[in-house]
Structure formats: C-alpha cells, structure tokens
Chains A and B, each alone.
Chain A
C-alpha cells in the first residue's frame, strides 16, 4: 500500500498457483486430533472437575479445535494474511463486543 500519491503504479503480484495444500494424511491427522480433543472434552464434562477449572479446560480444548479447523481445513495457515486478518476482525470483534455486553449484565456473578 503506497502512501505516496505520485509513485508509479506497482505491477500486480503474480497469482500463486502452486499453493501448499496438506495431503490426505495430514488432513486425517488433523481430523484425529479433533476427535481426540472432543473425547477429552466429553471426558472432562463427566469428570469430577468443576467450576472455573472445568470451564477453562473445556474452553482451551474448544479454542484449539477452532484454530485447527480454521488453520488447516479452511487453509488460513497457508493463505495470504489478509484473509486471516479479515476473519479475525469479525471473530475477535464479535467476541469482544459480546463479552462487554455480558459484563454489563454482571453475568459472571450468576
């Protein structure tokens, strides 16, 4: 992004045709990790762990699953950073906004 209004126009960058795509094996590995994490989550919910500890552990597993699907299955890890930033704007923005709303209800006191 050139801030100089008088610089000559840059040529368009070449479209990356040879992008990296994970192989079937790598995708299956990600899938197995997702299943394992889900098993851990279900186990946690049946375990005697409770309160904030349970919530923290569960949300950690959820976050890892979220990031793995977004990064590998949705290919963001290998794509141009602009896509990641755009999605992060929405996802992080939504999270922040709604956490603020919940805070205003004193929801953590429930």
Chain B
C-alpha cells in the first residue's frame, strides 16, 4: 500500500498483527523502564540498614504524610482513566477536566515530595549524607522527574485538544499518555511499600 499518511497526532497504518505500533512501542518503553527503576530500587534494598551514620529512615519518615501522597497519586490514576472514558465518548470538556485534574493531582504529589525532601534536608538528610540519603533521594528523585514529565504531557494534551488537533481520535493519545502515567503510579506503589512501609534495621550499636 503506497498510501501511508501520518499526521501530527495519530493515524494508524494497517499492521499484519492488527496491533497498534505506537502502543507496542509504549509498552516496550515501559518494560525498559522496569529495568531502570529496578536498578535504583536494588541499590536501595541492598544498602538498607547499611548506612554508617544517621539520619536513618525511622528518624525522618512520616508515614501518615506519605500515605496521603500515595492516595493522591492513586487518585490521579483514576482521574486518568476517567479522562480516557470521556475521550472515548468524545466528550471533550469532560476529557479536559479529568486531564487537568490528573495534572493537578500530579502536581500535588510532586509538591508534597518537594516539601517532604526539604523537611528531610533540614533534619540533616541530604543526598550525600549517607547511603540512605544517596539511595533514597536518587530513587525518589528519578521517580519525581518522571512524574513531572508526565504532568507536562498531560498539559500538552489539554493544549492540543483546545487547538483541535485531537479531533480525529482523541482516545488514543490520551490512552498512550495514560499508560505512561499509570506506570509512574505503579512504580510509586512499589516504592511506597519497599522504602517507607517495610522497616529498615538500624545498624548495630545505634539506639
């Protein structure tokens, strides 16, 4: 078929599997991100309880506070799928509403992280203080950057929809950004448990 067109947002060619190449590419990317976050998490788990000086996790963590952050991010995944449903129904107003809602919740999460990290810093924990600081800030920092990029993509979608660039098939780009967004959420699901909830032993000799 010599007629292969491609516009700025999305037009699918027929593939021999019937599967969207864009979607396949997004899933391959997310699979590769498992290797990235896996490596960062491994460093954290490996070095858990190995810091030679404090502060230690139990000195700085506020589980209640971070739980609220976790709820916020989970809620943002819900608003994301609601925006996708709206896009499927071509209800552009609702779609934008939920997209903005997702972005706002994401911003709340990132804002919460910034506040949390600043508090830790004032309590004496920086990225170079000890192994805990190094592994914690690197892991959560990478995650936070991923969330920020996701927020940018959500806002771009809103802008695009106002410019009428999504009118062909609005559900598809929303779905693709959604896949990225949900992935960032599941990484946090894992981080929250492994880093915050599972207790870290204090090194021997530390009260």
Interface size class, chain A: 35 or more
Are A82 and B17 in contact (CB-based, < 8 A)? yes
Nearest A residue to B203 by beta-carbon distance? A110
| B81: interface (CB < 8 Å) | yes
Q: Is the CB of A70 within 8 A of B186?
A: yes
Q: Closest approach, in angstroms, between the C-beta of A5 and any C-beta of chain B?
A: 16
Contact yes or no, A21 B88, CB < 8 A: yes
B28's contact among A12, A70, A86, by CB below 8 Å, is which? A86
Measuring CB to CB, which residues of chain A are less than 8 angstroms from any residue of chain B?
12-16, 21-24, 27-28, 30-31, 34-35, 38, 41-42, 44-46, 50, 54-55, 58-59, 61-62, 65-66, 69-70, 72-75, 80, 82-83, 86-87, 89-91, 93-95, 97-98, 101-102, 105, 107, 110
B5 at the A interface (CB under 8 A): no
Size class of the B contact interface (CB-based, 8 Å):
35 or more
Cβ proximity bits B64-76 to A, threshold 8 Å, 1 near / 0 not: 1001001100110
The answer to whether B82 and A44 have CB atoms under 8 Å apart is: no
1/0 per residue, CB under 8 A from A, across B173-186: the answer is 00100110011011
Q: Which residues of B contact A (CB under 8 A)?
A: 12, 14-19, 23-24, 27-28, 30-35, 37-39, 41-42, 45-46, 48-50, 63-64, 67, 70-71, 74-75, 77-78, 80-82, 84-85, 88, 175, 178-179, 182-183, 185-186, 189-190, 192-194, 196-199, 201
How far is A75 from B198 in the complex, measured between Cα atoms in Å?
A: 29
| Residues of A with C-beta under 8 A to B32 | 90
Assembled-state Cα–Cα distance A87/B179 (Å): 12
Interface of B is mostly: helix
B185 — which chain A residues lie within 8 A by C-beta? 69, 73
Is the CB–CB distance between B35 and A94 below 8 Å?
Answer: yes
Chain A residues whose CB sits within 8 angstroms of the CB of B192 once the complex forms: 38, 41
What chain A residues lie within 8 Å of B82 (beta carbons)? 24, 27
Q: Tell me the smallest distance from the CB of A99 to a CB of chain B, in Å.
A: 9
CA A98 – CA B192 in complex, angstroms? 18
| Residue of B with least CB distance to A82 | B19
Interface centre among A21, A83, A87, A93 (most CB of B within 10 A): A83
